[in-house]
Structure 1
């Protein structure tokens, strides 16, 4: 460990924060081309039924949830780390197969439907496997970069900013590149995917070269990580468990909203072109929110800012449900909701490193990999369900494609895009408000306790027992 500076006050350079943000920018360039356009490629170029695409998505996401856990086991099993650190080598090397598979998913073929489906499923699962190695290492690296809670909030904001710009660039840039290949749409998809994946790869390498692991800590010799220990890492760590539950709600709400808004603009507002403007303004509001996160956290603390973001999100959705019947009001209230999501999504990542330190304080064993991948497991399950459920929901409200919808279906669409996400946001707020106890004061105490424990080389169990009454979480 670096003892030259107090770990709670050490400041990171702007250059290093920017490099860390480039990591999520690059990973989102490779991820979002699949999230946004792969289903359309399956249906339009491979001739696969849309239902098959939904099943592929569900299967692959559940598979990826478990590969995340395996990544955690691998990270916590590392004993011999060189100058590159514990996490950075995975960012460097795993990004290459991620870029290759992301591009390969957009290669057209003339095989049978069964073979096309099998190939698509295997490629999507391979992408998930390598993406887990790259992205989980990227996220789990934060506690090794800094112990300063303010700097962690800054890194989370830069990360969310990079992710938002990556999503925005994929939204506005992919199809224009694809459409350049008139008469050869399959080639257009492949070239666009290659371009975005290559840019994403170089961004990951930029992140690798620009960040530094200052606090590399390995698990003790007798500690043997395993998938079950990743689950235990969640249930034996109350702040992490609460964060997982809240995050499952917020991620599902966000994904359902994104999936339904195309139907809402087309059938309720009768303006499908509004979607592109919606994307531009909503991403702009998210970026503004991300820029405000560090200052807001410094003034109010992470938990209050998180709850404030959820309140803005819920309020925007409620206003939209009752009064968002025109394009102008829909965009206005949606911007309010998306502005709130910026604080929530940024702090989701900033709170995880704090739970790593809590787990070390409570058990005496530091397991960044298990904690982080246990957390991402809940995110992947949420994403799998949120990617599959809108289709079932649309069926339940009587949606029929490309016809004028009944009043019952229109009401159902309004409920799906506003009331469901709003309800989930309120559940997340209640969960965090009543059960998340790891505030700034307790966190500072825990870091001081861990540091003192290591200096004195004391047994973790003894120290925890002596101080358990002082901090109850």
Structure 2
């Protein structure tokens, strides 16, 4: 297996140590204001995506719907989503809304920013539609509402995420600047996820008692406000693929798209690991119910999150240096294995000792959080690899595929959790919040409580273990990806790039 202990691009790949960090930053393309607008927009997107991921299972369980039926519908929607993600990715690469007369004024200039400007409001709008489900209608109507609203949400999430993610490549042609953007994007994403989760859970807890739908819809309005600044006063500086020759590069057809996907084996490995991870993150949707039913306090499992927050934030800040020291892949695999060991230990310890549970969950939370930043470094590398190999600017396709695997966290994982709870004999309830649930006093059978614990501890741990094993097959060296990025941007010629690559690709 080829070693992955290489630079992340935070230092010149040809070993010119005389170039300082300060001098390197002086060559960056974006202004501080542009980077701030992107980070604010991504933070808003993260919150918007997390609203449904966080509240969906809770909301549906409070609506007294059949969990097995909902779980089946989620799989159907995801099957549709797998197809439309590729189609939208291809369409976004092929069509620029700035060239369409009726969208020209809204779209502005660029490659992916025009798509963002046209579609960014769809995510919060679809979220409002999802949680506007009427409470007084029949269960059949609720299930139908869920199916349609969830499909609309998935479409909106794709149209929001693909431009948001893909523009990381087009905002700048400087690898060090891109890695810095990714690092701080990851920091903000984790910070807003933790803070918004604490606020949301506090508001719907038995101690405050706000309705789930009210909190979700109010949060969607906040998200819309956060997304607006990125639509203005930001420029993409790396729109064209400069290393490809128009005379020798084939037209970007559907056939060429599938060829690019087939050739990008590093990306396929990442997607496989993401799918395993996403499908097994069942604790995202069951943590709150586990806290309520296993520990008699819906807020108690937020304590390990708070304990892990500061050490995780510190390690995330140095994520680029960690990746530079031991390689991106090696760092991700190492942190993944650590998280898996903690989770498996947590399962066998059981939920009888609250203090030990909090300790193990806090330890587990650190590597999980750090990997959120580290993993973000890999996808742009594989995009540069595909651009270099094919001569095609197929960025959106791979971010569309990444979008699909990411949405597994908000779709398949809740479906898996619902199936397991259903097998455990979960008793459905009708409530608006945990205060309402506490007032009803609905108890759960022993089998349902065991199922809750499995979804919180064992399934995510096994998923992290399998994810780490899959990533061991990722063999794109970091310094080679940085060289390919320089070639794609026209900084070096293809001949110069091939002469410096560690091996033939």
TM-score with structure 2 setting the length: 0.76
Instruction: Verify: 1:447 aligned to 2:485, yes or no.
Output: yes
Deviations 1:51-74 (A, max 9, x none): 444344333343333332222112
Q: How does 1:22-33 map to 2 (within 5 A)?
A: 22-33=40-51
Structure holding more helix per residue? 1
Q: In 2 relative to 1, CA 106–410 (structure 1 residues): closer, same or farther, beyond 3 Å?
A: closer
Alignment of 1:269-348 (within 5 A): 272-282=298-308, 286-323=312-349, 325-348=352-375
Q: Distance in 1 between matches of 2:183 and 2:375?
A: 10
2:168 paired with 1:168? no
User: 2-side partners of 1:410 and 1:177: how far apart?
Assistant: 24
- Name the CA shift for 1:378/1:104 in 2 (closer, same or farther; >3 Å): closer
Alpha carbons 2:46, 2:189 under 8 Å: kept: yes
The answer to whether the Cα contact below 8 Å between 1:33 and 1:174 also exists between their aligned partners in 2 is no
One of 206, 210, 223 as aligned partner of 2:251: 223
Does residue 472 in structure 1 map to residue 504 in structure 2? Answer: yes
Would the aligned equivalents of 1:361 and 1:464 in 2 still touch at CA under 8 Å?
no
Give the Cα separation in 1 of the matches to 2:65 and 2:449: 28
Higher relative contact order (CA 8 A, sep 6+): 2
Between 352-361 and 336-345, the greater mean CA deviation after superposition: 336-345
Residue 368 of structure 1: aligned partner: 395
- State yes or no: 1:437 paired with 2:471: no
**Equivalent residue, structure 2, for 1:115:** 141
2:163 is equivalent to residue 137 of structure 1: yes
Q: Are the aligned partners of 2:58 and 2:285 in contact in 1 as well (CA < 8 Å)?
A: no
**Is 1:100 matched with 2:125?**
yes
> What residue number does 1:197 align with?
220
Gaps of 5+ in 1: none
2:228 is the counterpart of 1:208: no
1:62-105: CA deviation from partner (whole Å, max 9, x where unpaired): 33333322221122103666863111122222122322222122
Structure 1 residues 391-402: aligned runs within 5 Å: 391-396=418-423, 402=443
Q: Is the 8 A contact 1:155 1:350 kept in 2?
A: no
Give 1:342 shift: 1.9
Q: Structure 1 residues 275 and 223 mapped into 2: Cα distance closer, same or farther (>3 Å)?
A: same
Please give the alpha-carbon distance, in whole angstroms, between the structure 1 residues aligned to 2:409 and 2:205.
Answer: 33
Q: State the Cα distance separating 1:122 from its structure 2 match.
A: 1.7
**Residues 344 and 162 from structure 1, CA distance in 2 versus in 1: closer, same or farther, beyond 3 angstroms?**
same
Report if the CA contact (8 A) 1:16-1:211 is conserved.
yes
User: Quick one: distance in 2 between partners of 1:140 and 1:439?
Assistant: 21
Q: Counterparts in 2 of 1:396-411, with a 5 A limit? A: 396=423, 402-403=443-444, 405=446
Q: 1:133 to 1:279 in 2, by over 3 A?
A: same
* Counterpart selection for 1:89 from 102, 111, 114: 114
User: SS at 2:316's partner residue?
Assistant: helix
- Separation in 2 of the partners of 1:14 and 1:146? 13
Q: Deviations over 1:184-219 (max 9, x none)?
A: x7xx55553443222111211223336431100269
1:63 aligns with 2:88: no
Instruction: Judge conservation of contact 2:57–2:414 (CA < 8 Å) in 1.
Output: no
Give 3-state SS (helix, strand or coil) of 1:105's partner: helix
Confirm or deny: 8 A CA contact 1:309 1:342 kept in the other structure: no
Which residue in the other structure is 1:384 paired with? 411
Superposed displacement of residue 370, structure 1: 1.0
The Cα of 1:468 is off from its aligned counterpart by: 11
Q: Distance in 2 between matches of 1:76 and 1:171?
A: 34
CA 1:469–1:177 in structure 2 vs 1: closer, same or farther (change >3 Å)?
Answer: closer
CA contact (8 A) 2:287 2:456 kept: yes
Count of residue correspondences: 453
Rounded Cα–Cα distance in structure 1 between residues aligned with 2:233 and 2:307? 31
Distance 2:483 2:109 in 1: 30
Q: CA deviation at 1:112?
A: 4.2
Q: Cα–Cα, structure 1 residues 339 and 465, in superposed 2: closer, same or farther, change >3 Å? A: closer
Deviating more after overlay: 263-272 vs 329-338: 263-272
CA RMSD of superposed structures (Å)? 3.8
Q: Tell me, what secondary structure is at the counterpart of 1:141?
A: helix
Cα distance, 1:144 vs structure 2: 0.7
Asked if structure 1 preserves the Cα contact closer than 8 Å seen for 2:301 and 2:358, the reply is: no
Structure 1 residues 48, 29: closer, same or farther in 2, change over 3 A?
Answer: same
Change (3 A) 1:356 1:162: same
The Cα of 1:381 is off from its aligned counterpart by 4.7
Q: How has the CA–CA distance of structure 1 residues 275 and 212 changed in structure 2, closer, same or farther, with 3 Å as cutoff?
A: same
Q: TM-score, normalised by structure 1?
A: 0.81
Aligned residues of 1:269 and 1:326 also touching (Cα < 8 A): no
Contact 1:33–1:170 under 8 Å retained in 2: no
Unpaired runs of 5+ residues, structure 2, are: 1-22, 100-106, 429-442
